[in-house]
Amino acid sequence: MLDVMSLSYPFQTLLLGCVSVTTPTRRYLCKTRWCQVQATPPSSVILNADESGKFSEKLHGSCLVSRKGAPFVTQGSAVGIIGGVSVDATLKFLRKLVELSSEDGGDSIPFVLCSDPVLSKELLSYERSCFVSSTSKAESLKLDSSPIVQSLRKKRVFLENSGASCIVMPCNVSHSWYEQVSEGCSVPFLHMAECVAKELKEAKLKPLEAGSPLRIGVLVTNATLGAGFYKDKLQNEGFEIVLPDRATMEHTVIPAIEALNRKDMEGACNLLRIALQVLLMRAANSVVLASDDMRDLLPPDDPLLKKCIDPMDALARSTINWVKSSGNNT
């Protein structure tokens, strides 16, 4: 796993965090900031990237770095991953990707990850600057999103040149600019909401009420609500969308996020339960929990989780299906 905090072209120099490389005979750490990509290390690389240089988590993957000037990933259908608002959410997506792709006892799929703390802060600032107007359209408080789009595009190009055969963004907010970021991309660029819509379509759900349309709830933050891509993608598959109304956003969703920011986990969890119940009471079959902040608030045994859909899981499954269908990964 590579944490690319800045990009230098041509793709020969990377600004790295702390790297832990495990081989059958030795294990060593490298805590350098600038590192020239010169040779091919073993295929099990662990990079726990944060600004403090501490190891937040250890995750094995098959991220391959090639010789200077060549693509980093040189075998199979490698996945290029652009990190988003939360490093923790990105790591959880990676764990899901590794676990699902290797659950049959085989090797996990190769991947290259760009996780930029500066971009994460910009995404978080954008998300917190948005509010919902009376028309349910999110507006930004004089925040220019062009630097975010430029950064996302640079990382996309970097991943293409790194040898990635498809690209994903495990981040809801980043998908607000999916069209601009994916424009001109030379490899498939999976859309998280399309992955969710496809899985729901294939599930062949039945309406809760006879003769009624199939309703899917979507619980989102202001920024994602305003972008509207979940509504568009799900409606394209024939679903009726149930979104939080203004009162639900103001009295449950936004306070839940504020409680989460205060580390009031119990308060945030209770508010999330109320928001989910409101959507389910409006005859929604399931609720897409499209919030990077709130997706892990509910305990694993909470009955409400059975009614929730995690877009990150859908993206991971779709990514693995793409790799398998491409026929290049063994």
Q: Which CATH class is domain 194-309?
A: alpha beta
Dump pLDDT digits (tens) for 157-214: 999 998 899 999 999 999 999 999 999 999 999 999 999 999 999 988 888 878 788 9
CA proximity to 81, closest of 195, 186, 138, 1: 1
Strand partners, 130: 140
* Domain 7-191+314-326, architecture per CATH: 3-Layer(aba) Sandwich (3.40)
Q: Can you read off the two tokens belonging to residue 65?
A: 């770095």
Give whole-number Cα distances, 31 to 38, 47, 110, 269, in Å: 17, 10, 23, 37
User: What average pLDDT does the chain have?
Assistant: 76
Query: What's the token pair of residue 59?
Result: 């995750």
CA 112 and chain centroid, separation: 14
Q: Would you state the pLDDT for residue 175? A: 95
**Which sequence spans correspond to the domains of the chain?**
7-191+314-326, 194-309
20-69 residue pLDDT tens: 233 333 333 333 333 333 323 333 233 333 444 333 444 433 434 443 44
What phi-psi label fits residue 222: left (phi over 0), alpha (psi between -120 and 50 degrees) or beta? alpha
Tokens of 285: 């079959």
The residue type of 177 is W
The residues facing 140 across adjacent strands are: 130
C-alpha of 153 from chain center: 16
Please provide the DSSP assignment of 176-220 as one string. Answer: GGHHHHHTT-SS-B--HHHHHHHHHHHHT---SSTTS--EEEEEE
Q: Using an 8 Å Cβ cutoff, are 278 and 244 in contact?
A: yes
Res 131: pLDDT: 54
Residue 31 confidence (pLDDT)? 35
Tokens (6 digits) for 15: 């600004």
